[in-house]
Amino acid sequence: MVWRTAKIGKLIVAIVFSIAILISAFGLPVTANGSTDGTTFKVITNITVGLAPDWVAYDPSNGYIYVANYGSDTVSVINGTTVIATIPVGKVPEGLTYDPSNGYIYVANEGSNTVSVIKGTTAIANITVGLSPVGIAYDPSNGYIYVANEGSGTVSVINGTTVIATIPVGPAPDWVAYDPSNGYIYVANEGSNTVSVIKGTTVITNITVGLAPVGIAYDPSNGYIYVANYGSGTVSVINGTTVIATIPVAIVINVGIWPQSFAYDPSNGYIYVANEGSGTVSVIKGTTVITNITVGLAPEGLTYDPSNGYIYVTDAGSDTVSVINGANNTVIATIPVGYAPMGIAYDPSNGYIYVVNGQSDTVSVISTGVPTSSLSISSVTTSTTTSTSTSSTSTSTTVSTSTSSISSVTTSTTSTSTTPTPSAVPTLVVVVIVVVVVLIAALLMIKLRKP
């Protein structure tokens, strides 16, 4: 009896392993699982926009997403998952920002030396600024828009639709950030390795930082400004008008190669830095790097999702989005999107993440929180929507757009969805039948065999 029980036990174990191997061989999951923390991430659609989309911004006054199409000189306006307008702007639109005081979207047009002003789905003005405007930011303390003119080494200050000042700064100013703790505007000058500090319409100081400063961000938890020095692989930390270190040497933080963009996580007070050249994200607390997280190739943009506390990173070189859980600073999912994802934004009105794919001329829309208990195996569903357009002298409106593909991701490397693929269902049935037959035959042999 003991022999027979042990034999049956060994047989059952063998069959269980066989089932696992068979299921794995046919691409079926052995266990239903989500990301490493149980969340499911799903690309619910891919929206066709203009050529070479790059920047993206959210307008809380209407819930729209605005996408600057670098290659077609347009801005696509997305409501939920539908393009509701395509607006002609200046040449080579780059930077976007929203002005809550008037509800306008400002678009820096690098190729035409202008800033287009959009209200809803209509361009209401084109403002001439300096040469090659790129970075753009809003100052809530005075209601001004600050535009970094890379080609002329100046910053244009816009009040509403009028330029009220042109401020000389360093060579090749790229990015702009606002510090609400002191009301200053900080401008990263890539060509002179400096940061210009502006109050109102006056430069009050120029701060030396690392080589080729590009990205710049404010941390409200400590009031510091963080500057990504692309050329030296460092981040300079500024407090007010001083680089906090042994002056005049900057406190620099050793991060990855080619740091360029930031995101701030208010849930833990950390700054996240995308290092394009090393495929990592550095996590900074105050003036210390606490960890470096490996993500996809050539990380570009980052955004924070307050609904779940995750950081989303666009991996331009691997066509994916890495999802970081700020609670433990680990990658919990890797989501396939379009080619060369660049800009990324969170829409609090629907909880979606919008990813701008620069080389596939699309925007991927990611949702989170699908229950993992409903998951089975991977599938792709494609649907096509019709499109109509209307045009006028100032704007061209295109309603809806293109082919939508649905996929979902539950781990860093596995795509999952809610239903099995048609081809996998017969396979699963065959596997179950074979296993049942083998089990019955084995049990009968054991029963007939004498101990």
The string of pLDDT tens digits covering residues 231-262 is 888 899 999 999 993 222 234 455 557 888 89
Mean pLDDT of 19-38: 42
Chain segment 109-139, per-residue pLDDT in tens: 999 999 999 999 999 999 999 999 999 999 9
Strand partners, 88: 74
Is the pLDDT score of 179 beyond 50?
Answer: yes
Distances (CA, A) of 299 to 235, 260, 277, 375: 16, 9, 8, 29
Q: What pLDDT score does 147 carry?
A: 98
Q: Decide if 183 is inside a domain.
A: yes
Both tokens assigned to 7: 């034999």
More confident position, 113 or 444: 113
Q: What pLDDT score does 278 carry?
A: 87
Claim to verify: residue 176 and residue 298 sit in the same structural domain: yes
Q: Decide if 409 is inside a domain.
A: no
Angle at alpha carbon of residue 335, lines to 215 and 328, rounded to 5°: 70
Cβ contacts of residue 290 below 8 Å, gap of 6+? 270, 283, 284, 329
The proportion of the chain whose per-residue pLDDT surpasses 70, expressed as a percent, equals: 71
More confident position, 215 or 71: 71
Q: Decide if 265 is inside a domain.
A: yes
Is the pLDDT score of 402 beyond 80?
Answer: no
Q: CA 427 to CA 81: how far, in whole Å?
A: 35
Q: CA 255 to CA 260: how far, in whole Å?
A: 11
Average pLDDT, rounded, for the chain: 79
Q: CA 383 to CA 389: how far, in whole Å?
A: 20
Claim to verify: residue 77 and residue 12 sit in the same structural domain: no
Is the pLDDT score of 61 beyond 60?
Answer: yes
Is the pLDDT score of 24 beyond 90?
Answer: no
Structure confidence at residue 35 as a pLDDT band (50, 70, 90): low
Claim to verify: residue 208 and residue 258 sit in the same structural domain: yes
Chain segment 211-238, per-residue pLDDT in tens: 999 889 999 999 999 999 988 888 999 9
Mean pLDDT of 257-280: 90
Angle at alpha carbon of residue 281, lines to 193 and 313, rounded to 5°: 105
165: three-class secondary structure by DSSP: strand
Q: What pLDDT score does 393 carry?
A: 31
Claim to verify: residue 230 and residue 150 sit in the same structural domain: yes
Is the pLDDT score of 5 beyond 80?
Answer: no
> Which residues span the domain enclosing 11?
2-29+425-448
Is the pLDDT score of 434 beyond 60?
Answer: no
Both tokens assigned to 41: 């991430």
Q: Decide if 287 is inside a domain.
A: yes
Q: What pLDDT score does 231 carry?
A: 87
Is the pLDDT score of 330 beyond 60?
Answer: yes
Q: What pLDDT score does 166 carry?
A: 98
Claim to verify: residue 219 and residue 144 sit in the same structural domain: yes
Claim to verify: residue 438 and residue 304 sit in the same structural domain: no
Q: What pLDDT score does 356 carry?
A: 97
Q: Decide if 62 is inside a domain.
A: yes
Q: What pLDDT score does 258 carry?
A: 81
Is the pLDDT score of 395 beyond 80?
Answer: no
Residue 36 buriedness (CB in 10 A; 0-12 / 13-18 / 19+): middle
Structure confidence at residue 349 as a pLDDT band (50, 70, 90): very high
Q: How many residues does the chain have?
A: 451
Structure confidence at residue 382 as a pLDDT band (50, 70, 90): very low
Both tokens assigned to 252: 């620099």
Give the CATH number of the domain where residue 397 resides.
Answer: 2.130.10.10
Q: CA 223 to CA 238: how far, in whole Å?
A: 9
Q: Decide if 214 is inside a domain.
A: yes
Is the pLDDT score of 433 beyond 70?
Answer: no
Q: What pLDDT score does 414 carry?
A: 32
Claim to verify: residue 9 and residue 80 sit in the same structural domain: no
Both tokens assigned to 70: 């670098």
Q: Decide if 372 is inside a domain.
A: no
Q: What pLDDT score does 157 carry?
A: 98
Claim to verify: residue 158 and residue 70 sit in the same structural domain: yes
Claim to verify: residue 398 and residue 429 sit in the same structural domain: no
Any long-range contacts for 440-444 (C-beta under 8 Å, 24+ apart)?
442/11, 442/15, 443/8, 443/11
Q: Decide if 231 is inside a domain.
A: yes
Q: CA 445 to CA 451: how far, in whole Å?
A: 12
Residue 288 buriedness (CB in 10 A; 0-12 / 13-18 / 19+): exposed
Specify the number of domains making up the chain: 2
Claim to verify: residue 309 and residue 429 sit in the same structural domain: no
Structure confidence at residue 267 as a pLDDT band (50, 70, 90): very high
Within 10 A of 399 (CB to CB), how many other CB atoms are there?
16
More confident position, 8 or 359: 359
Structure confidence at residue 440 as a pLDDT band (50, 70, 90): low
Claim to verify: residue 19 and residue 144 sit in the same structural domain: no
Mean pLDDT of 406-428: 37
Omega within 30 of 0 (cis) for the link into 248: yes
Mean pLDDT of 174-196: 96
Claim to verify: residue 391 and residue 281 sit in the same structural domain: yes
